Amino acid sequence: MADGPIQLTDVQAILKDFRDPESGRSIHDFEQVKNVQLDGDRLSLTLELTSWAAPIWQDVCDALSEKLQAALPGLRSVRIDRRIHARAPQKLGEIGLTAKTVIAVGSGKGGVGKSTIAASLAFALQRAGSRVGLMDSDVYGPSIPHLLGLSGRPMIENNRLTPIFKNGMPVMSMGLLVPKEEAVIWRGPMLHGAVTQFLRDTDWGDLDYLIIDMPPGTGDIALTLSQLLPLTGAVVVCTPQDVALLDAIKAIHMFRKVNIPVLGIVENMSGFVCPDCGKKYDIFGSGGARKQAEESDLPFLGEVPIQLAIREHGDAGTMEANFTDANVAPSFEKIAYRLVKNLAASAAAAPPQPSLPVL
């Protein structure tokens, strides 16, 4: 840039070049920058960002500020105020679901903490400011209603299911429709039907993220999901033990086989944190999933140690309480943050999308 006083046109050139983390389009071209005021060497502006990007809002503002200051060394201060940018609902696939990003949380093995991670991911995204839904696709052994302490039955009106809400988050699960003690015997086509109905006939509203808790093992449900809609991808949960890692590899292959991209690996039960002394013991070892992620060329999204509070809150149906516990919350929040950061990086690398109406 030329020496001398900073011009508004210099600022605009930089804004034009800065991309929205969700759409990958120029924030300037899509009118996401308002109230640009240059007062000598002080700049202030309002940046509108979508609720989808809520977990990384601070990073985006910091990146813009750094970019402006690097390009315009004479700039003494940059103030960025944030506002929500409303975008039109985005239909995903043909089934009428309006969600920007759909993420399946799965593993090759039972009991590794899929439901715990799925629900925590949903809470973390929602607490950051995104609009999130949680769908339990474990039709045989639904555990989301128990972990979240949900009761009540979804109403059916005009052939539409009203989900049950937890802290404003819509949740749907077979456990809400069938009495707990009743064993459900499903055959393949019925399973497909139930998952289809959950996705197609539930009033999810306009979502940024739909998180799907997968049943243990490989197979049917992933195939059904992949046939119903273009999933953004899957998060694979595993424990540090070798055997669980082998199962994780199976899960990665399974998702790839049905064309569901794997977004990353989470290591759950990664060491035990003693509630009395805070010391971490590597009961099953730790770090194996990180190594596996590197070897498989997949992002490692984070680790969650074994913590008594997680098990207790799960049993008591108060999982959201994990987020008011400073020893537990950060590990879940980091996973949500890294996931969104990676998705935004993919959006930035993708060719610009066609324009969408702005509300």
Ligand X SMILES: Nc1ncnc2c1ncn2[C@@H]1O[C@H](COP(=O)(O)OP(=O)(O)OP(=O)(O)O)[C@@H](O)[C@H]1O
Binding mask 148-187 for ligand X (x = CB under 6 A): ----------------------------------------
Q: Which does 268 bind (CB under 5 to 8 A by kind): ligand X, Mg ion, none?
A: ligand X
Q: Find the binder of ligand X among 20, 138, 267, 303 (CB under 6 A).
A: 138
> Three-state SS for 161?
strand
Q: Which does 288 bind (CB under 5 to 8 A by kind): Mg ion, ligand X, none?
A: none
Point out which span in 19-27, 62-70, 171-179, 299-307 binds ligand X (CB under 6 A).
299-307
Q: Find the binder of ligand X among 314, 320, 337, 340 (CB under 6 A).
A: 314
Which residue is closest to Mg ion by CB?
Answer: 115
CB of 274 to ligand X, least distance (A): 13
Point out which span in 3-11, 20-28, 136-144, 193-201 binds ligand X (CB under 6 A).
136-144
Closer Cβ to Mg ion, 92 or 104, answer by number: 104
Q: Which of 161, 163, 111, 157 is nearest to 138 (CA)?
A: 111
Total number of residues that touch ligand X (CB under 6 A)? 19
| Residues within the interface to Mg ion (CB under 5 A) | 114-115, 143
Q: Which does 304 bind (CB under 5 to 8 A by kind): Mg ion, ligand X, none?
A: ligand X
DSSP classification of residue 174? G
CB of 211 to Mg ion, least distance (A): 13
Q: How far apart are CA 322 and CA 311, in angstroms?
A: 10
Point out which span in 93-101, 110-118, 164-172, 290-298 binds ligand X (CB under 6 A).
110-118
* Structure tokens that stand for 37 in this block: 């005021």
Rounded to a whole number, what is the largest CA-CA distance in the chain? 77
Per the CB < 8 A criterion, the answer to whether 60 and 21 are in contact is yes
CB atoms within 10 A of CB 294: 12
Q: How many CA atoms lie within 13 A of 200 on its CB side?
A: 15
Which residue is closest to ligand X by CB?
Answer: 314
Write the CB contacts of 32 (distance below 8 Å, at least 6 apart in sequence).
Answer: 20, 47, 48, 49, 85
Interaction of residue 310 with ligand X, rule CB under 6 A:
yes
Closer Cβ to ligand X, 279 or 357, answer by number: 279
Binders of ligand X in range 195-224 (CB under 6 A): 216
- Number of H-type helices and E-type strands within the chain: 10, 15
Closer Cβ to ligand X, 15 or 248, answer by number: 248
> Three-state SS for 179?
coil
| Long-range contacts of residues 69-74, Cβ cutoff 8 Å, at least 24 apart | 71/1, 71/10, 71/14, 72/1, 72/6, 72/10, 72/11, 72/14, 74/5, 74/6, 74/41
CB of 118 to Mg ion, least distance (A): 8
Closer Cβ to ligand X, 130 or 307, answer by number: 307
CB of 335 to ligand X, least distance (A): 12
Chain centroid to CA 83: 21
Interaction of residue 269 with ligand X, rule CB under 6 A:
yes
Q: How far apart are CA 240 and CA 287, in angstroms?
A: 7
Interaction of residue 116 with ligand X, rule CB under 6 A:
yes
Q: How far apart are CA 346 and CA 331, in angstroms?
A: 23
Question: Which amino acid appears at position 118 of this protein?
Answer: A
Q: Find the binder of ligand X among 19, 25, 87, 114 (CB under 6 A).
A: 114
> Three-state SS for 188?
helix
Q: Which does 111 bind (CB under 5 to 8 A by kind): ligand X, Mg ion, none?
A: ligand X
Closer Cβ to ligand X, 143 or 173, answer by number: 143
Q: Which of 118, 167, 139 is nearest to 335 (CA)?
A: 118
| Positions that interact with ligand X (CB under 6 A) | 110-116, 138, 141, 143, 216, 268-269, 304, 306-307, 310-311, 314
